[in-house]
Structure 1
Amino acid sequence: MKTSPDRQRPPLRPAAEQPVLTLRFTASPRGARLARRLASHQVDAWGWGYGTPVHDAVELVVAELAANAVTHGLVPGRDAELRLSREGEGRVRVEVSDTRGERRPRTGPVGGETDGETDGEADGGRGLLLVAALSVDWGVCERAGGAPGKTVWAVIAPTMGAGPDLAAVGGGRPPGAEGSASAT
């Protein structure tokens, strides 16, 4: 099939030259996995190679936020969205949006909750604690442009070194994070 000259698409810029990656993904485990893999590729293209602390932190944060969006933010027929951007001082901002604005992360202790008590053996409820531990700041806000839903965001900095001691992470809010939470 031949394309007319006026219908040709402009050439895509190499990933390293794109300051922002925006991706809509299906609200499914497969979509969340795609978001994680493309974020991993983009961070590598920006110069933080596979296996570096920043790369691994961004990959894990995207995995946790995308998994939460498809698990807790699912609205049938609506996609989730990943936005990854480079900020000043070499920081990477991760934003994952879904259309369930009424289901916001809640602050609370580690693990699942049973009758108001923390269940240390629960299978879930620790993802946002990992996000808090791996980021310099994170929170939740309304989606941009008046779109329905919420955006959970995190900022990862290259100065984080080898990363925090995750075993020492408590259930509190990180400094400056509005609406931080331990479970969605």
Structure 2
Amino acid sequence: MFVQRFSATPRGARLARFLALHEWDSWGVPYGSRASEEAAAVLAELAANAVVHGRVPGRDFELALDLPQPGTLLIEVTDTRGEALPTPTPVPPSPEEESGRGLVLVSALAKDWGVRPRTPAAPGKTVWAHCGCPPGAGRMFFWR
């Protein structure tokens, strides 16, 4: 499992994506492979949402990655704003709108995704997604 906190800024979101690609490559999900690129697109959208919609000044967002079962990458992005939960079935925006396609993309690329609130003692939410990966991928390194 990989767990890391990042600043809730565009730079933090980019760093999260970069480190995830590195981690997945060390787990046997090769950099540049379809599985790696699709998971990176999902992670980029979830991290961008944490930065844009889940940001609380002075608070970071957390990224957790895991391989819970063969052929599945788990991506979890936790932010500290819990009052604005994403809808489980996002509606594509009209062609004229400039935003609103991120969770539509996540729905298209992930096997499954969802959101769960954090405990009352820790405000916020975790948005998670399961993405496909090569069945032989395994944890070769542990990096925290």
TM-score range, shorter chain: 0.7 to 0.9
Partners in 2 of 1:108 and 1:79 — Cα distance?
A: 25
The SS at the match of 1:84 is strand
Partners in 2 of 1:144 and 1:57 — Cα distance?
A: 30
CA contact (8 A) 2:90 2:103 kept: no
Q: Give the superposition deviation at 1:158.
A: 2.7
Number of aligned residue pairs: 133
2:70 is the counterpart of 1:129: no
Partners in 1 of 2:38 and 2:90 — Cα distance?
A: 23
Q: TM-score, normalised by structure 2?
A: 0.86
Instruction: Flag the 1:80–1:141 CA change in 2: closer, same or farther, 3 A.
Output: same
**In angstroms, what is the RMSD of aligned CA positions?**
1.6
Pick aligned residue for 2:10 from 6, 29, 44: 29
Question: Which of the pair has more CA radius of gyration?
Answer: 1
Q: Which runs of 5+ in 1 are unaligned?
A: 1-19, 112-118, 160-184
User: 4+ residue stretches of structure 1 with deviation over 4 A?
Assistant: none
CA contact (8 A) 2:2 2:65 kept: yes
Q: TM-score, normalised by structure 1?
A: 0.68
Query: Quick one: percent identity of the two aligned structures?
Result: 53
Q: Give the superposition deviation at 1:87.
A: 1.4
Equivalent AA in structure 1 for residue 92 of structure 2? V
CA contact (8 A) 2:50 2:77 kept: yes
More strand by share: 2
Q: Which runs of 5+ in 2 are unaligned?
A: 135-144
Partners in 2 of 1:126 and 1:120 — Cα distance?
A: 10
The SS at the match of 1:80 is strand
